[in-house]
């Protein structure tokens, strides 16, 4: 068993935006072409506790050297008050020859980077006739910061960011981090979500909202909303938007905004296409200039596997990680002997 902790995962993925985006893009294409297996995620919830959850995302990615495994990720929003990160995760990769677990990786960094790469890839793919020069971030956490880093890598013309968080102190701290990391990036703090929604035609929602609380009324026509947290937008706003998803079956579950929209109208006709279909078509996508386009990615387990496999391979080539040779039970004959 190869064990890779957060520091080693960082060593592989830091400054590797191009490779991460390429891995995510490849995973989307393989999914679109039917070369993945992706059971529904398992949500572990707790009695009398609607806020915390742990999710299991099993998946198979059928590349030339196929990968199978699972991400086990916990979301405990109260952790931030304890000085801890909201999310923690582990990824297990299994041998496709024996089924045995062969790698255990710290998963929160992988999860954050694949989420950021997915959002940035969508922003670059679901293009506009007007180049993006600014982005609004609603939700000032780890995911928002990672998404901004990947947007900066994929959209070189991005010169401004407007941030908003219900916790104004958190928003100011986030803005300070942005100014320190990107001195050339004009950074502003909005006083309301509506101000942030109206500030730019590229908007990212990365909150811990458990129920819809925003409409798209404040958005400019032609806005692309990266609806990463999935439960921010009212069903009515979803039904009036051009909707792009990663997988309709996965995203229309667990009381997401799209699930509620489906329950409201009785079908999924409001979903226009998937990001995999857009990438597979190989043609430029121009979003509607008179409507809001919403990208709602469930966050497919195949993306986590793609990045975990990238980390494992690169870590092995660099001699990173800890090998535990006796992790598994010895064969019966060896144990007897």
Task: Tell me how long the chain is.
Answer: 337
Q: Does pLDDT of 333 surpass 80?
A: no
Distance of alpha carbon 4 from alpha carbon 2, whole angstroms = 7
Say what the pLDDT of residue 337 is. Answer: 47
Residue 112 belongs to what H/E stretch? helix 108-125
CB 237 within 8 A of CB 230: no
Q: What is the mean pLDDT of residues 84-91?
A: 93
Pairwise pLDDT comparison (282 vs 28), residue with the higher score: 28
Q: Does pLDDT of 254 surpass 50?
A: yes
Say what the pLDDT of residue 85 is. Answer: 87
Q: What is the mean pLDDT of residues 125-154?
A: 95
Say what the pLDDT of residue 286 is. Answer: 92
pLDDT band at 109 (very low <50, low <70, confident <90, very high): very high
Distance of alpha carbon 180 from alpha carbon 189, whole angstroms = 15
Residues forming beta bridges with residue 195, ordered by sequence position = none
Q: Does pLDDT of 334 surpass 70?
A: no
Distance of alpha carbon 42 from alpha carbon 31, whole angstroms = 19
Distance of alpha carbon 241 from alpha carbon 238, whole angstroms = 5
Query: Do the bridges between strand 160-164 and strand 134-138 make them parallel or antiparallel, or are there none, so unpaired?
Result: parallel
Say what the pLDDT of residue 294 is. Answer: 98
CB 119 within 8 A of CB 224: no
Q: Does pLDDT of 72 surpass 90?
A: yes
pLDDT digits (tens, 9 = 90+) for 239-253: 999 999 999 999 999
Q: Does pLDDT of 89 surpass 50?
A: yes
> With pLDDT > 70 as the criterion, what percentage of the chain qualifies?
98
Task: Report which DSSP code applies to 82.
Answer: G
Name the one residue in this structure whose structure tokens are 């035609």.
201
Distance of alpha carbon 245 from alpha carbon 235, whole angstroms = 15
Backbone angles phi, psi at 153, to 5 degrees: -70, -35
Q: Dmax of the chain from CA atoms?
A: 74
Distance of alpha carbon 233 from alpha carbon 130, whole angstroms = 25
Tokens of 302: 């195949």
Q: What is the mean pLDDT of residues 283-311?
A: 95
Q: What is the mean pLDDT of residues 62-81?
A: 92
pTM of the complete model beyond 0.85: yes
Say what the pLDDT of residue 329 is. Answer: 83
Q: Is 258 helix (H, G, I), strand (E, B) or coil?
A: helix
Say what the pLDDT of residue 332 is. Answer: 67
Distance of alpha carbon 290 from alpha carbon 197, whole angstroms = 16
Q: Does pLDDT of 192 surpass 70?
A: yes
pLDDT digits (tens, 9 = 90+) for 213-227: 999 999 999 999 999
CB atoms closer than 10 angstroms to residue 54: 16
């Amino acid at each position: 068993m190869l064990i890779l902790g957060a520091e080693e995962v960082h060593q592989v993925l830091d400054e590797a935006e191009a490779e991460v985006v390429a891995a995510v893009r490849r995973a989307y294409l393989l999914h679109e072409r039917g070369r993945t297996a992706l059971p529904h995620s398992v949500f572990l919830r707790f009695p009398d506790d609607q806020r915390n959850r742990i999710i299991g995302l099993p998946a198979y990615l059928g590349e030339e050297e196929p990968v199978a495994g699972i991400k086990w990720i916990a979301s405990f929003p109260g952790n931030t008050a304890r000085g801890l990160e909201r999310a923690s995760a582990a990824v297990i990769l299994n041998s496709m020859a024996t089924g045995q677990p062969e790698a255990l990786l710290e998963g929160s960094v992988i999860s954050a980077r694949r989420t950021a790469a997915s959002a940035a890839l969508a922003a670059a793919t679901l293009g506009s006739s007007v180049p993006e020069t600014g982005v609004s971030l609603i939700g000032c956490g780890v995911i928002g910061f990672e998404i901004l880093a990947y947007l900066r890598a994929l959209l070189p013309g991005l010169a401004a960011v407007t941030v908003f968080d219900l916790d104004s102190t958190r928003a100011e701290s986030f803005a300070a981090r942005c100014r320190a990391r990107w001195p050339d990036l004009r950074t502003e703090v909005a006083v309301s979500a509506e101000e942030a929604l109206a500030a730019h035609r590229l908007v990212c929602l990365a909150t811990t909202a458990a129920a819809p609380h925003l409409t798209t009324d404040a958005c400019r026509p032609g806005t692309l909303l990266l609806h990463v947290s999935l439960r921010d937008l009212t069903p009515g706003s979803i039904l009036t938007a051009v909707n792009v998803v990663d997988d309709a079956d996965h995203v229309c579950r667990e009381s997401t905004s799209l699930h509620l929209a489906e329950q409201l109208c009785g079908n999924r006709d409001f979903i226009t296409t998937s990001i995999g279909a857009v990438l597979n078509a190989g043609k430029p996508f121009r979003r509607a200039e008179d409507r809001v386009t919403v990208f709602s990615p469930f966050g497919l387990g195949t993306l986590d596997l793609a990045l975990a496999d990238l980390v494992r391979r690169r870590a092995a080539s660099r001699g990173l990680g800890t090998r535990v040779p006796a992790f598994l039970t010895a064969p019966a004959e060896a144990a007897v002997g």
